[in-house]
């Protein structure tokens, strides 16, 4: 492991450092913007981004991924900060970290498999919408200068990369910030600047224990926030890890990533930073800029801190419009535009899952609720579909006055009513044989349904016998370990 660690750190020094610098430049406006979303001083997001990026570089499970203060987690803190203040946010951050470490030890990352592609798309679209909505306060009730600056900024961001040579070397969001700042400064235009939004860091961060009473009352206040932050943070981090896995064709250690996010958040909280997680956009920028190793996240964090500490006087005069332009770019880039086209072509159920995820998130401002809704609706659709896999073949033997029912398919909570309705109870008959050896009883609702059928038939004076119950009920056992061998699965599912 030490050897692969060496490779992770030093395998791509030049690429990692250059990419780290590009990321650091992109992180500064985002960290400030996310602080503003959360309602705290810009320095809270900047310290957080430094701490999280650097700590994750060491303890994270996915080399090449960038973690920092994020919109997804910032959105969850708004009411906590408004009602109780920064100190409670710091406690919530530390507690979220602890919860994430616990989640890591409990292997909760495995639940990511429940998050379908539609839910993921919904997550990103909702995130994009929320980031955009968070910029609106800066764009409402302002002079026309702000609109002009924002549009100009966006123009620079999207067009500068087309400038020959320098366009591919210098990050265009940085050019946007520098250009707008110089313009506003020298033209003497009176618009809001970052300095108006609160304190910027002027020193290196220091270790600080949050100034709150450590009692049950505090726990009651912060726990719901911490839970949401922990869940959303892990969701976005694991999602991002999957994206980077795919881009770089390498594996990540998801369990280590969960624990790493936890440690990073605890570290952030202890130096006065807010909670964060992995950033999809920045991580892709990192890979695109040639970052593959752990060194790039480390570089990003350190360069970010150096930049803000030494440049805080200059940062103060950066117009908010430049920042808004960057965030609109992030929003546009995060939104999955293809998913709009796919609404027409994808199955309706997939679109419903995506849309419901988006709607719930935008409504509650909590990505976790959206994801849970998406998973729930997706599961219901699946249950609905699976319950169609059930039919009964019925035969009557006149000589013996015997009716045989041959049940084939999946019987579980959602198909049990259908199962019951497939029998003919009104037929006056001597004997009924129900052959279930080609059916599967997945839960106790299914077993109860079979009992119900038997009782109903008996009431009509029919003798009922059941064949093949052992095979049918094998799926009832919760011992999934039994089913992990191909021959075991074949034994159960064979004939279907």
Partner 1 sequence: MTVLDKTFILACIDDSEMSDSVIEYAIWLAKNSQLPIKFLHTIEHTHHSEHIHHEGTITPNMTEKLLNELSDEERIESKRLIADGKTILNKATEKAKQAGLTDTIAKQRHGTLSEALQDLEVEIEIMVLGLKGEERQSDTKGLSSQLEQAIRVINKPVLVVKKSFAIPRNLLLAYNGSPTSKKAIEIINKDMFSTQLLNIHIMNVDKNLDTAKRLANEVETALLPLKCALKTEAMTGDPVQVFTEYQQQHNIDLTLMGSFSHGKIHGFMFGSFTTQMLRNGSSNFLLLR
- Biggest CA-to-CA distance, the chain: 104
Contact residue for partner 1 among 123, 225, 335, 442 (CB under 8 A): 335
* Site membership for partner 1, residue 1 (CB under 8 A): yes
Contact residue for partner 1 among 58, 208, 227, 284 (CB under 8 A): 284
Q: Which residues contact 448 (CB under 8 A, 6 or more apart)?
A: 416
Number of residues located near partner 1, criterion CB under 8 A: 50
Nearer to partner 1, 66 or 103 (CB): 66
Nearer to partner 1, 265 or 289 (CB): 289
* Site membership for partner 1, residue 4 (CB under 8 A): yes
Contact residue for partner 1 among 58, 78, 112, 170 (CB under 8 A): 170
Nearer to partner 1, 131 or 270 (CB): 131
Query: Is the distance from CB of 390 to CB of 423 less than 8 angstroms?
Result: no
Dihedrals phi, psi of 403, to nearest 5 degrees: -105, 130
CA distances from 490 to 4, 475, 484, 493 (A): 39, 12, 10, 5
Q: Return the structure tokens found at 454.
A: 């038997």
Is residue 137 within a helix (H) or strand (E), and if so which, with residue range? helix 117-139
Q: Which residues contact 165 (CB under 8 A, 6 or more apart)?
A: none
Contact residue for partner 1 among 147, 310, 337, 425 (CB under 8 A): 337
CB of 78 to partner 1, least distance (A): 23
Contact residue for partner 1 among 73, 125, 150, 172 (CB under 8 A): 172
**Contact range with partner 1 by CB under 8 A, out of 89-97, 229-237, 278-286, 358-366:** 278-286
Q: d(Cα 44, Cα 86) in Å, to the nearest integer? A: 9
* Site membership for partner 1, residue 15 (CB under 8 A): yes
Contact residue for partner 1 among 36, 212, 329, 361 (CB under 8 A): 329
CA distances from 333 to 121, 132, 190 (A): 13, 11, 30
* Site membership for partner 1, residue 247 (CB under 8 A): yes
Among 151, 182, 156, 183, residue whose Cα is nearest residue 171: 156
Nearer to partner 1, 282 or 351 (CB): 282
Query: Is the distance from CB of 200 to CB of 46 less than 8 angstroms?
Result: yes
* Site membership for partner 1, residue 168 (CB under 8 A): yes
Q: d(Cα 302, Cα 47) in Å, to the nearest integer? A: 11
Instruction: Please name every residue paired with 409 in a beta bridge, in sequence order, or none if there are none.
Output: 390, 439
Contact residue for partner 1 among 78, 223, 332, 467 (CB under 8 A): 332
Contact residue for partner 1 among 140, 338, 428, 481 (CB under 8 A): 338
Nearer to partner 1, 156 or 457 (CB): 156
CB of 280 to partner 1, least distance (A): 8
Give the total residue count for the chain.
Answer: 496
CB of 289 to partner 1, least distance (A): 5
How many helices (H) and strands (E) the chain has is answered by 21, 6
DSSP 229: H
Residue 190 burial (CB count, 10 A): 9
Interface residues toward partner 1, by CB under 8 A? 1-4, 6-7, 11-12, 15, 18-19, 22-23, 25-26, 157-158, 160-161, 167-174, 243, 246-249, 280-281, 284-285, 287-290, 292, 329-330, 332-338
């Amino acid at each position: 492991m030490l050897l692969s660690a060496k490779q992770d750190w030093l395998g791509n020094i030049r690429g990692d450092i250059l990419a780290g610098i590009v990321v650091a430049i992109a992180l500064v406006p985002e960290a400030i913007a996310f602080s503003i979303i959360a309602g705290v001083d810009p320095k809270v997001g900047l310290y957080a981004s430094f701490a999280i990026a650097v700590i994750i570089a060491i303890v994270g499970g996915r080399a090449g991924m960038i973690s920092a203060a994020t919109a997804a987690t910032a959105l969850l803190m708004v009411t906590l900060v408004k009602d109780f203040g920064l100190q409670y946010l710091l406690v919530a951050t530390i507690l979220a970290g602890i919860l994430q470490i616990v989640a890591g030890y409990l292997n909760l990352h495995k639940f990511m498999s429940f998050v379908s592609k539609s839910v993921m798309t919904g997550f990103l679209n909702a995130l994009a919408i929320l980031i955009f909505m968070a910029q609106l306060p800066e764009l409402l009730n302002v002079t026309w200068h702000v609109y002009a600056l924002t549009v100009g900024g966006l123009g620079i961001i999207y067009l500068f990369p087309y400038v020959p040579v320098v366009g591919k070397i210098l990050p265009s969001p940085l050019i946007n910030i520098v250009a707008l700042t110089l313009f506003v400064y020298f033209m003497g235009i009176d618009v809001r600047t970052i300095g108006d939004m609160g304190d910027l860091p002027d020193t290196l961060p220091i270790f600080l224990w949050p100034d709150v009473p450590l009692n049950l009352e505090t726990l009651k206040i912060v726990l719901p926030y911490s839970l949401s932050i922990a869940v959303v943070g892990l969701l976005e981090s694991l999602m991002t890890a999957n994206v980077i896995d795919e881009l770089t064709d390498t594996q990540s250690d998801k369990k280590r990533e969960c624990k790493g996010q936890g440690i990073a958040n605890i570290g952030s909280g202890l130096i006065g930073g807010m909670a964060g997680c992995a950033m999809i956009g920045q991580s892709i920028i990192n890979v695109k800029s040639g970052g593959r190793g752990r060194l790039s996240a480390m570089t990003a964090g350190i360069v970010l801190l150096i930049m803000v500490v030494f440049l805080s006087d200059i940062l103060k005069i950066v117009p908010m419009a430049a920042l808004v332009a960057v965030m609109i770019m992030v929003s546009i880039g995060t939104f999955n535009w293809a998913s709009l086209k796919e609404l027409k072509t994808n199955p309706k159920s997939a679109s419903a899952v995506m849309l419901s995820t988006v709607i719930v998130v935008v409504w509650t401002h909590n990505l976790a609720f959206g994801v849970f809704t998406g998973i729930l609706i997706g599961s219901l659709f699946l249950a609905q579909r699976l319950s169609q896999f059930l039919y009964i073949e019925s035969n009557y033997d006149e000589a013996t006055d015997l009716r045989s029912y041959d049940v084939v398919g999946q019987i579980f909570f959602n198909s049990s009513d259908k199962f019951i309705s497939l029998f003919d109870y009104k037929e006056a008959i001597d004997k009924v044989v129900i052959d279930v050896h080609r059916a599967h009883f997945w839960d106790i609702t299914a077993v109860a349904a079979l009992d119900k059928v038997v009782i109903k038939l008996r009431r009509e004076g029919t003798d009922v016998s059941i064949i093949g119950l052992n095979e049918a009920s094998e799926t009832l056992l919760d011992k999934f370990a039994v089913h992990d061998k191909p021959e075991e699965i074949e034994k159960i599912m064979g004939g279907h």
